[in-house]
Amino acid sequence: MIKITIVAENTAARAGVLGEHGLSFWIETPAARLLFDAGPALSFRHNAGVLGIPLDRADAVVLSHGHDDHTGGLSWALPRMPAAKIFLHPDAWQPRFSLRQEAHPIGMPAEARAALRRRESGLSWTAQPAEIAAGIYVTGAIPRKSELEDTGGPFFLDAGGTQPDPIADDQALWIETPSGLIVVLGCAHAGVINTVEYIRSMAPGRPVRALLGGMHLGAASPARLDWTVKALQKLSPRQLSPMHCTGMPAAAALWQALPGRCLAGGAGVCFEFSDA
């Protein structure tokens, strides 16, 4: 049995939990228990308590990238996860800014950086693919092969907006099961199709059983969205759960294109995969 619980997400799917822009998953497999991202601080801390997430039993923490809506809860979580190994790309530390109307810092909070530094001996740098536990892998940096798939927004490494941020630390996680791959995304800044195809290149011949997480299509052009929908139809995952940064128009298009396969995500939802 594999269980994936959404600890933090933009929406709340059950009474007592909070919805807040961000994402975090608690993943339980026969091989390991792990936290994939730590959401925004407020909702992550609250929801972890309400949902009874046993952070003290975590074997690993995996960070999809260094944005604050995926790392905000680390300063609270890490002291409660004494045995957990921590997997992150070396670029996750970088200062980050979003420039829409004015410069807005979106990098890893200072408290999260400090918490990670206190655990320096337990950090594993994942510029390349790595095995987290038996059957659980992280991609490391994802090749950007599709010209249509950009990072999804006006992201920069400086407040002046002179250094575009390629978000090279973007990475995803996948779990191998008898009936295919379960792919878990943070924001897919490298592109959801780039991500899935890269994973499939490392697990050739395996179908995509489930694709869960943020797909950063909120600002996608009509051409990119149409191409992405058709590519996902071709991949034909048995379950698709677009959430967080996917954007409502893109999520609606995916639900329409893959009828009967899309499941809603939100804080408090637990997906179970029974044949693992």
CATH number of the domain within which 157 lies: 3.60.15.10
Q: What is the pLDDT of residues 87-112, one digit of tens each?
A: 999 999 999 999 876 778 999 999 99
Q: What is the pLDDT of residues 210-250, one digit of tens each?
A: 999 999 999 899 999 999 999 999 999 999 999 999 999 99
| Domain span at 238 | 2-273
Structure confidence at residue 276 as a pLDDT band (50, 70, 90): low
Q: What is the pLDDT of residues 251-272, one digit of tens each?
A: 999 999 999 999 999 999 999 9
d(CA 93, CA 11): 27
d(CA 100, CA 242): 24
Q: What is the pLDDT of residues 6-16, one digit of tens each?
A: 999 999 999 99
Q: Is-contact 89 168, C-beta < 8 A?
A: yes
pTM: 0.96
Amino acid present at 92: A
The tokens describing 192, both together, are 């959801």
**How many domains does one find in the chain?**
1
Q: To the nearest 10°, the Cα dihedral for 204, 170, 23, 105?
A: -170
Residues 6+ positions from 23 with CB-CB distance below 8 Å:
6, 8, 9, 37, 39, 64, 69, 70, 186, 187, 213, 214, 243, 244, 245
